[in-house]
Amino acid sequence: MPDFNPTELRAGTAIVIEGAPCLVSKYEHVKMGRGGATVRVKVKNLKSGAIFEKTYRGNEKAEEADMARVKANFLYRQGETFSFMDQTNFEQYELTRAEIGDLERWLVDGQEVDLLLFEGKPIGVQMPIKLEFEVTETAPGVRGNTVSNVMKAATINSGAVVQVPLFVKQGDHIRVNTQEGTYVERA
């Protein structure tokens, strides 16, 4: 794989650190007074899920990861295994619960995701930041003496529970931020 200068790193860039593929989530270029400049990146190890910081100094190089992103659809779950199908060649891939991580709670049948392939093998998924879900269960909203925005629990069609405003009722469609697990708006 070709090496590149750490100043070329940006959020979303895939690099290899100690033989494991990592995704850059935050980039910071730091210039010291008399010393040389450093590049500090916050990365997520795509195999283990660990999040850590890495600092590049002077003439160090970052190795580009052999990563591919493939548009795929979630098919079904069987025990601890999740099946996905590539939209272009209809090839099926399987990932374990450990590889999916917390994103499991946002998966519904037919959900489109970006499948991450490292050296041709699936290692994880990336979901859109905002997704639309249907509220399947929630208590009726009762307003009392409230001054601020009051929230209530609602179960969505993926099975996850999200805090929503009082006006949201069963059957409504809402948008949820999948990274933070929070209500965004009514759809």
Q: Tell me what pLDDT residue 144 has.
A: 64
Q: How far apart are CA 6 and CA 27, in angstroms?
A: 10
Which phi and psi (to 5°) does residue 99 adopt? -75, -30
Q: Tell me what pLDDT residue 162 has.
A: 93
* C-alpha count within 13 angstroms, C-beta hemisphere, residue 77: 13
3 state SS of 99: helix
> Average pLDDT over the chain, rounded to whole?
85
Residue 135 and residue 115 share a domain:
no
% helix, strand, coil for the chain, step of 5: 5, 55, 40
Angle at 160 between CA 157 and CA 165, to 5 degrees: 90
How many Cβ atoms sit within 10 Å of the Cβ of residue 103? 17
The pLDDT of residue 132 is above 90: yes
Q: Which domain holds residue 83?
A: 67-126
CATH number of 177's domain? 2.40.50.140
Give the closest residue to 103 by CA, choosing from 65, 129, 121, 70: 129
Which residue, 126, 143, 159, sits at the end of a domain? 126
Residue type, 125: V
Task: For tokens 């489109």, name the residue.
Answer: 112
Which residue, 126, 144, 159, sits at the end of a domain? 126
Residue 112 and residue 81 share a domain:
yes
Q: Report the run of H or E that residue 74 belongs to, with start and end.
A: strand 67-78
**What's the average model confidence in pLDDT over 110-125?**
86
Overall number of domains in the chain: 3
Q: Tell me what pLDDT residue 146 has.
A: 61
Give the closest residue to 103 by CA, choosing from 29, 180, 166, 164: 180
pLDDT digits (tens, 9 = 90+) for 56-105: 887 788 888 888 889 999 999 998 999 999 999 999 999 988 888 788 88
